[in-house]
Amino acid sequence: MSRRIKRTETRSDRPPTRRKSAPARADRPSSDRERSERPNRDRPGSERFKSERAAGPRSETRSDREPRGERKDRGDEWAPRERPSAKPPSAKRPSPKHPSAKHPSTKRAAGKPGRFTAERMERPAAAPAARKSEPDAQPLPTKVQTVVVTADENNMRVDRFLEARFPGLSFSHIQRIVRKGELRVDGKRADSKDRLEEGQSVRIPPLKLDAPKERGALSEAERKTLESLKAMTLYEDDDVLVLNKPAGLAVQGGSGMTRHIDQMLEVMRDAKGQKPRLVHRIDRETSGCLLIAKTRFAATHLTGAFRSRSARKIYWALVAGVPKPKQGRISTYLAKDEGEEDTIMRVAAHGDEGASHAVTYYAVVEASATKLAWVSLKPVTGRTHQLRAHMAHIGHPIVGDPKYFNKENWALPGGLQNRLHLLARRIVIPHPRGGVIDATAPLPPHMLQSWNLLGLEADRFDPIENAPEE
């Protein structure tokens, strides 16, 4: 009789505090004796049953509880006992070489990208190739050595090559080893101004040079300059940088000018002393895309793309009046007129001293009555003030141009700022390592204000995008 009463009492009637504090069965040591006694642990005579009996009365029976397999919320008490593994738990974790360890974002929920997004994982691996092609600063040479010219050093002068390879090497030392014939290129004597080609072997004698100076921490002013450059960045990789230059900031220095892009790039010098190089220029009052090369290799290829006219540049402008026809080609010769206080470009005749041929395509995107027009411009050549001089030449100068636009001659709507309304909207150019760079700059604040005032739609189709190149 007592045995039957004991069978109706169940373990689920134990106090919650006792159930939570009970150690997980899987954590207990396993032995042959314990495994042999496991089937009898729930028998009335077992020690566990006696301790449960002493815990107090029970309020439910075994038949009132949910099935054993569904009790997943009660910890490890009802989990099946696991045999001890031959390896520690840490051995089951993916190693750093496992794909899941490299890209944890592949397991994240949609809409919450991780550190490595899908777009970043699919990006072409151009950056590592760029770093591999750049030579590291060599240690102080104590004996004759032979080095190979890399792609980044192609078309570099011999003296520049030595300066880049061995920071701290003096100019006089370079001239001395070249003059004595101690430096050889493919086994032949070389001059300091000779150009090197990728793959050539350069024999370098023992050199005496000072250890390169390490660049210290950036000052507060340099940090602010670096932050300004980052805020301007439209596109960047290991070879190329495209900035959205604001209106009023010059690209290069001039008389009385202390802040310009070329000077700001000083904070981006690398460990070998190289700083990014300007590939092309836009006027001080013109805003928009400015292309910069971060390596010699990129500078050579991008400059060649401009020279061969493989680069496509699209400009937006607000001009006085509406050009007729609404699409056309402007072809003139431009020469520089230098005055006492200012310099402008004038239309010259073929053969005039200093005259250069200039070609521009234009198209009217949208007109504001007959007073103003939004035009898209595509310069085929790259002369100084070319777009500004060409639009003034056909009788439709760019609004706010301090050199070629006279506001008193035009009855313009109020509210327009008297600033140059010219934007380097887009640049498309082959990437030095394959593919295409395609960067677009937004309207600057003063032009956006004018667009909103005139009701112009900045997202309209640009008809000059595929203009022919001649």
Residue with tokens 């898209």: 376
Residues paired with 313 in a beta bridge? 427
Q: Is 23 left (phi over 0), alpha (psi -120 to 50) or beta?
A: beta
H runs (alpha helix) in 241-335: 261-264, 296-307
Maximal C-alpha separation, the chain: 127
H runs (alpha helix) in 93-154: 99-102, 118-121, 126-133
Q: Is 449 exposed, middle or buried (0-12, 13-18, 19+ CB in 10 A)?
A: middle
HSE, side-chain direction, 13 A CA sphere, residue 330: 28
Q: Measure the CA–CA gap between 335 and 356, rounded to whole angstroms.
A: 7
* Catalytic-labelled residue, pool 283, 352, 401, 459: 283
Q: Measure the CA–CA gap between 185 and 200, rounded to whole angstroms.
A: 7
DSSP-derived secondary structure for 351-398: T-TT-EEEEEEEEEEEEETTTEEEEEEEESS--TTHHHHHHHHTT-PB
Q: Measure the CA–CA gap between 287 and 314, rounded to whole angstroms.
A: 12
- Which among 300, 239, 274, 293 is positioned nearest to 160, based on CA atoms? 274
Contacts of 205 (CB under 8 A, 6+ apart): 141, 144, 177, 182, 183
DSSP-derived secondary structure for 192-239: TTPBP-TT-EEEE-----PPPPPP-PPPHHHHHHHHHHHHHEEEE-SS
Q: Is 365 left (phi over 0), alpha (psi -120 to 50) or beta?
A: alpha
Q: Is 283 a catalytic residue?
A: yes
Contacts of 329 (CB under 8 A, 6+ apart): 359, 360, 361, 362, 470
Q: Any idea which residues carry the catalytic annotation?
A: 283
